[in-house]
């Protein structure tokens, strides 16, 4: 029914071993023989049986990319860059890895499940993107899994997530704290003193770090924070909309709002507009990430640009072992403040 190595061998009048060697090209085979084998492969339309060769060789050409939400361009852009490097779209020939992206939906259970599945497939590399959860048991479970993966020879890279100690994982962190601090510094510099904050889900490291940066900036400016000024939500537009409304209800005198990311900021803008406020005249809004669509908002969003594509590409190369790990196996990636139309000096 399906063509096997043996069929090809018979057709080319050689032994299966020879066919295998021609296909893998790691053993001298006479040119004439190679030719004959290749012709047989072509004529029979032979396709290697992946599982069989993975089993025999005890390695696989699978590489996994874990993302929290594939529908979110934040992850899409990173995944795209990673996959380009791993899958060989980047141009390099002979690179026949199957780079696959797995959507965890931000759930730690799913994350573990996918890691197990990848481990089961004996994946060659795994890249985890996006913030981690702070929940200790889960963090420990993930750490244990990562350790096991690196021990069994899988290369593990964390991209845009905090380092995990004692796993062989190489890490590329985003400087969320510094970025958030720069954003709030910018607002403070414009003269804002009453700044609301629509933060992300409490249990994510990304949220924690951005929030901390924000608070550091406030503290540095001698601004005493009001507990009413912070609301939490998810990383989506709707949370931004609702969050902004809530902030306005709690304190109508706010002159600026920093959002957890661009989607949240865009939602906030919509809510503020719907409430009759003009941006930035009545209130300033900032985002984070600088996704493509933040430039189409009117006014365009002031935001912290994260080099998603660059970081992804680097993570991909790291996962392929094509680039040396940074010293200490961890590097921090800086953002860049993009000042656009959504921020201005406060009203009065």
Q: Would you tell me which residues interact with DNA (CB under 7 A)?
A: 2, 4-6, 13-18, 20-21, 23-24, 26-30, 32-33, 46, 48-49, 52-53, 55-58
Q: What is 191-254 written as a DSSP string?
A: T---EEEEE--TTBHHHHHHHHHHHHHHHHTTPPPPGGGEEE--SSHHHHHHHHHHHHHH-TT-
How far is the CA of 230 from the CAs of 45, 236, 296, in angstroms?
A: 62, 16, 27
100 binds, among DNA, a second copy, none (CB under 5 to 8 A by kind): a second copy
Asked if 25 is part of the footprint of a second copy (rule: CB under 8 A), the reply reads no
84 binds, among a second copy, DNA, none (CB under 5 to 8 A by kind): a second copy
Angle between helix axes 31-44 and 16-24 (nearest 10 degrees) is 90
Within 115-134, which residues bind a second copy (CB under 8 A)?
116-122
254 binds, among DNA, a second copy, none (CB under 5 to 8 A by kind): none
Number of residues interacting with a second copy: please give it, by CB under 8 A. Answer: 61
Distance (Å, whole) CA 259 – CA 197 = 6
Asked if 317 is part of the footprint of a second copy (rule: CB under 8 A), the reply reads no
**The token pair that represents 104 in the structure block:** 């965890």
Nearest distance from C-beta of residue 168 to a second copy, angstroms: 16
Span of 9-17, 60-68, 245-253, 330-338 interacting with a second copy by CB under 8 A: 60-68
> Do the beta carbons of residue 123 and residue 115 sit within 8 Å?
no
98 binds, among a second copy, DNA, none (CB under 5 to 8 A by kind): a second copy
Within 257-276, which residues bind a second copy (CB under 8 A)?
263, 266-267, 269-270
* Bridging pattern class, strands 170-174 and 155-159: parallel
Q: Identify the helix (H) or strand (E) that includes residue 4.
A: none
105 binds, among DNA, a second copy, none (CB under 5 to 8 A by kind): a second copy
Distance (Å, whole) CA 238 – CA 287 = 14
76 binds, among a second copy, DNA, none (CB under 5 to 8 A by kind): a second copy
Distance (Å, whole) CA 320 – CA 242 = 42
Distance (Å, whole) CA 211 – CA 52 = 50
Q: Measured from the CB atom, is 51 or 105 closer to DNA?
A: 51
Span of 31-39, 66-74, 131-139, 165-173 interacting with a second copy by CB under 8 A: 66-74
- 333 phi-psi bin (left φ>0, alpha ψ -120 to 50, beta other): beta
Asked if 69 is part of the footprint of a second copy (rule: CB under 8 A), the reply reads yes
Q: Measured from the CB atom, is 218 or 319 closer to a second copy?
A: 319
105 alpha carbon, distance to own chain's centre: 12
Q: By CB under 8 A, name the binding residues for a second copy.
A: 2, 45, 47-52, 54-55, 60-62, 64, 69-73, 75-77, 79-80, 83-84, 87, 89, 96, 98-103, 105, 107, 110, 113-114, 116-122, 148, 152, 237, 263, 266-267, 269-270, 292-293, 295-298
């Amino acid at each position: 029914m399906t063509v096997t190595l043996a069929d090809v061998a018979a057709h080319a009048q050689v032994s299966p071993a020879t066919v295998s060697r021609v296909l893998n090209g790691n053993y001298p085979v006479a040119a004439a023989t190679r030719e004959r084998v290749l012709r047989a492969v072509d004529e029979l339309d032979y396709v290697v049986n992946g599982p069989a060769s993975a089993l025999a060789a005890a390695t696989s050409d699978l590489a996994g990319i874990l993302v929290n939400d594939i529908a979110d361009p934040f992850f899409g852009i990173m995944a795209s860059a990673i996959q380009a490097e791993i899958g060989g779209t980047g141009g390099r020939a002979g690179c026949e890895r199957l780079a696959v992206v797995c959507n965890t939906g931000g759930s730690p259970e799913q994350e573990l499940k996918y890691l197990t599945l990848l481990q089961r497939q004996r994946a060659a590399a795994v890249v985890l993107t996006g913030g981690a959860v702070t929940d200790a048991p889960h963090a420990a479970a993930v750490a244990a899994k990562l350790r096991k993966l690196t021990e069994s020879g899988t290369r593990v890279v964390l991209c845009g997530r905090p380092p995990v100690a004692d796993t062989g994982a190489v890490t590329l962190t985003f400087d969320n704290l510094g970025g958030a601090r720069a954003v709030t510094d910018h607002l403070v510099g414009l003269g804002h003193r009453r700044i609301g904050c629509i933060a992300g889900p409490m249990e994510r490291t990304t949220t924690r770090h951005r929030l901390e940066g924000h608070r550091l900036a406030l503290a540095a400016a001698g601004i005493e924070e009001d507990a009413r000024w912070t609301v939490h939500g998810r990383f989506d537009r709707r949370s931004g909309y609702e969050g902004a409304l809530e902030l306005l209800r709690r304190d109508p005198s706010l002159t600026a709002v920093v959002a957890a990311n661009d989607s949240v900021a865009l939602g906030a803008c919509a809510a503020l507009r719907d409430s009759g406020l003009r941006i930035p005249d009545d209130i300033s809004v900032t985002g984070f990430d600088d996704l493509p669509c933040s430039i189409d908002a009117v006014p365009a969003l002031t935001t912290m640009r994260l080099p998603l594509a660059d970081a992804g590409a680097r993570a991909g190369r790291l996962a392929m072992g094509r680039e040396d790990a940074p010293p200490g196996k961890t590097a921090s990636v800086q953002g860049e403040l993009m000042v656009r139309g959504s921020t201005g000096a406060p009203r009065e």
